[in-house]
Chains A and B, each alone.
Chain A
Amino acid sequence: MSSALLIEQALNGLQFGVMLFLMAAGLTLIFGVMGVINLAHGSLYMVGAFACAAVAAYTGSFWLGLVASLIAAAAAGAIVEVTVIRRLYNRDHLDQVLATFALILIFSEGTRWVFGSFPLYLDIPKVLQGAISLPGGGQYQLYRLAIIGAGLIVAIGLYLLIAKTRLGMRIRAGESDREMIGALGVDIASLNTIVFALGAALAGLAGALVGALQSVQVGMGEPVLILAFVVIVIGGIGSIKGALAGAILVGVVDTMGRFLLPQLFTLFMQPSQAATAGAAIASMLIYIVMAFILAVRPKGLFAVNA
């Protein structure tokens, strides 16, 4: 096994983690501030991807598509918050799960209604096409490096927003005590809408970035949503720092597990059996890691109210 392959796989893990972070950041903010379990977060990811693909196909510019994905997802998020989520703050989590699950179905069939059942095409922008050489002789896809860069910029931006601005102060205050900041005269309703739209925009950005790598199709958000929940549980619900750490951990563990476990199994099994068994264990690995972390730290790595 060459060092180039190891470096490439480590970058793959990092890229996957950064993408998960974009999803998990919004999810954890919404849960932290509003206490809502938003299963429809994956649908906002899908909305971003479809908006980007549609606008990119119409205008020929991926960058305009990217802007459209942010706007479309944020708008969808704001509308959903005002019309549905707002009514759920004082209900229990089961009602929230039911309502947001209904939203998944509505978004999925609505998207199919507008765009049809066949996957859409979204290509990587010209400047980011191709691969660059890595130290050690390997090659790495330029676009994936760009995703890593974009994700890290968003992480820094979110940190500054939450630590240094008035809006961030209100978000932090809202996480600690919703009633109190309402009593202090902060317009909690519009704060909720802003946070929800922000989380939705991040999900839409992730959808658009990943849509160019994968396929833009109905139902693309749900597998990612499950992983995003794993990430925020590992990181500590409500913590942006935890979401970043959890996302990178899940990304790297999943990638390295898929890569190394089947090879490990070939040491004592036949190749085709080892491939099957290794793949099976690798797909369980992040859940095993999650169980282990929860056993040691039940509130996650960076528990908010610890």
Chain B
Amino acid sequence: MKRIAAAALMAGLTFAGQAMAEPVKIGMITTLSGGGAGLGIDIRDGFLLAIKESGNKDIKVIVEDDAQKPELAVQIADKMVQSEKVDILTGIVWSNLAMAVVPGVVGQGTFYLSTNAGPSALAGANCNPNYFNVAYQNDNLHEAMGNYANTANYKKTFILAPNYPAGTDALTGFKRFYKGALAGELYTKVGQTDYATEIAQIRASGADSVYFFLPGGMGIAFMKQYSQSGISTPVMGPGFSFDQDVLGAIGDAAIGVKNSSHWSKDLDNAANKKYVAAFKAEYKRLPSLYATQGYDTANLILSAVAKASVKDKDAFRAALKEAKFDSVRGKFKFGNNNHPIQDIYVREVIKEDGVLTNKIVATSFTDHQDAYAASCKM
């Protein structure tokens, strides 16, 4: 199950020249097997694409599979920090795994750059100078949709999410900005794949809109069943539920759905155009949000490596914090708690050349910062 893929392989394993610069060792722990593997594979592919493009031969990436298990992720992290002596760790998809790994890793003085998970516990009072989140804080996309629901003049939204920390965070985020009344609020079982009961309640509630956060297969199942149930109430969701990795499985039922994201394939900037084309050429599919976060994280590391030695922790930390890299999001900067301050858009699912994808229809937030930054003492 364990796979060690050295990016050096992709970059052409040429140690013959023995470059003068100090080698940088990056450990990537991500989910490459099990039901959530699509997300980790995208992060890895995006990350390795950026390293390959850079042509930097001094960067060595060690990739290992956490199988979406917190205890396994902790073991791999310990091994990478203590015996492999990596300088930087990255790659985790899930918040519960991040919570198990990140505090220990950054406490030992290793840098951790988050490619996806952004649990609130690490954004507020427990923020850490060695922890950088290059993706988003977990609440952000939900806040953006709550804000959009006001613009769209929804007054009676039905909200649902799985009954676990990221699920309650999601609905809290939505409610933080949403001003209307709730037609209902439901927490479903994690991993649930049949939503007939919930859909019946949505129908009976007389809601004028539905907001759901159901990552992975849960969201696919919900959307397919919803579209077949004869309800016409409009649906909204965070970008995760309508991104490139799941749209194919949902099918045409997703067309027209509004969802929030800090990135979209059609964002108009040079870095993004180059990235989308390169990703398609390399992997023969469209990039997802996760791939993009992996790509941006790698480029952030590359920008910092060019400025400072990774062994000089203070200088390297400052170089990371500057975030002087060409983000495919157009603009990108870190707030005081090392979480992004960025624009969040509303996208609509469309069909383009026979493939389901998204286009930006509105901007929900400009330079949005998370709600926990204030309680971080950095």
A-side residues, CB < 8 A to B, are 1-2, 4-5, 8-9, 12, 15-16, 108-109, 112, 117-121, 123-124, 129-131, 138-139, 141, 143-144, 210, 212-220, 223, 255, 258-259, 262, 271-272, 275-276, 279-280, 282-283
Q: Are A215 and B230 in contact (CB under 8 A)?
A: no
Known: A141-B228, A276-B163. A218 touches B37 (CB 8 A): yes
The stretch that binds A, out of B9-17, B18-26, B80-88, B216-224, is B216-224
**Which residues of chain A come closer than 8 Å to B185, judged between CB atoms?**
271-272, 275
| Residue from A130, A138, A213, A218 within 8 A of B224 (CB atoms) | A213
> What's the least CB distance linking B239 to chain A, in Å?
16
User: Within the assembled complex, what's the spacing in Å between the Cα atoms of A158 and B274?
Assistant: 59
User: Within the assembled complex, what's the spacing in Å between the Cα atoms of A245 and B171?
Assistant: 38
**Which residues of chain B come closer than 8 Å to A214, judged between CB atoms?**
193-194, 217, 220-221, 224-225
Q: Does B370 contact A (CB under 8 A)?
A: no
User: Within the assembled complex, what's the spacing in Å between the Cα atoms of A11 and B117?
Assistant: 38
User: Within the assembled complex, what's the spacing in Å between the Cα atoms of A215 and B195?
Assistant: 12
| Residue from B41, B197, B251 within 8 A of A123 (CB atoms) | B251
Q: 1/0 per position for B344-366, CB-CB distance to A under 8 A?
A: 00000000000000000000000
* Interface-central residue, A4, A117, A123, by most chain B CB under 10 Å: A117
Q: Are A118 and B248 in contact (CB under 8 A)?
A: yes
| Residue from A112, A130, A217, A259 within 8 A of B33 (CB atoms) | A112
**Which residues of chain B come closer than 8 Å to A141, judged between CB atoms?**
196, 225, 228-230
Q: Are B217 and A213 in contact (CB under 8 A)?
A: no
> What's the least CB distance linking A109 to chain B, in Å?
7
**Which residues of chain A come closer than 8 Å to B187, judged between CB atoms?**
275-276, 279
> What's the least CB distance linking A113 to chain B, in Å?
11
**Which residues of chain B come closer than 8 Å to A217, judged between CB atoms?**
35, 217, 220, 249
User: Within the assembled complex, what's the spacing in Å between the Cα atoms of A275 and B245?
Assistant: 30
| Residue from A108, A124, A130, A144 within 8 A of B34 (CB atoms) | A108
> What's the least CB distance linking B1 to chain A, in Å?
8
Q: Does B246 contact A (CB under 8 A)?
A: yes
Q: Are A138 and B35 in contact (CB under 8 A)?
A: no
**Which residues of chain B come closer than 8 Å to A271, judged between CB atoms?**
182, 185
**Which residues of chain A come closer than 8 Å to B221, judged between CB atoms?**
213-215
| Residue from B200, B224, B229 within 8 A of A5 (CB atoms) | B200
| Residue from A9, A16, A112, A255 within 8 A of B37 (CB atoms) | A112
User: Within the assembled complex, what's the spacing in Å between the Cα atoms of A299 and B251?
Assistant: 45
Q: Are A139 and B249 in contact (CB under 8 A)?
A: no
> What's the least CB distance linking B349 to chain A, in Å?
14
Known: A143-B228, A276-B163. A118 touches B197 (CB 8 A): no
Q: Are B163 and A5 in contact (CB under 8 A)?
A: no
> What's the least CB distance linking B39 to chain A, in Å?
9
**Which residues of chain B come closer than 8 Å to A124, judged between CB atoms?**
228
User: Within the assembled complex, what's the spacing in Å between the Cα atoms of A124 and B229?
Assistant: 12
Known: A223-B191, A223-B193, A259-B197. A119 touches B217 (CB 8 A): yes
> What's the least CB distance linking A31 to chain B, in Å?
25
> What's the least CB distance linking A128 to chain B, in Å?
9
| Residue from B163, B197, B230 within 8 A of A130 (CB atoms) | B230
The 9 closest A-B pairs by CB, nearest first: A131-B230, A215-B220, A119-B249, A214-B221, A12-B196, A219-B35, A279-B187, A117-B37, A215-B217
* Interface-central residue, B1, B189, B250, by most chain A CB under 10 Å: B189
**Which residues of chain A come closer than 8 Å to B37, judged between CB atoms?**
112, 117, 218
User: Within the assembled complex, what's the spacing in Å between the Cα atoms of A234 and B203?
Assistant: 33
| Residue from B201, B204, B251 within 8 A of A121 (CB atoms) | B251
Please give 4 more A-B residue pairs, beta carbons under 8 A apart, in addition to A139-B229, A141-B228: A214-B220, A259-B201, A262-B186, A280-B163
Q: For residues 27 through 62 of chain B, which have their beta carbon under 8 Å from a beta carbon of chain A?
A: 32-35, 37-38, 41
| Residue from A15, A121, A272 within 8 A of B249 (CB atoms) | A121
Q: Are A130 and B228 in contact (CB under 8 A)?
A: yes
User: Within the assembled complex, what's the spacing in Å between the Cα atoms of A279 and B168?
Assistant: 12
User: Within the assembled complex, what's the spacing in Å between the Cα atoms of A129 and B32?
Assistant: 35
**Which residues of chain A come closer than 8 Å to B186, judged between CB atoms?**
262, 275, 279
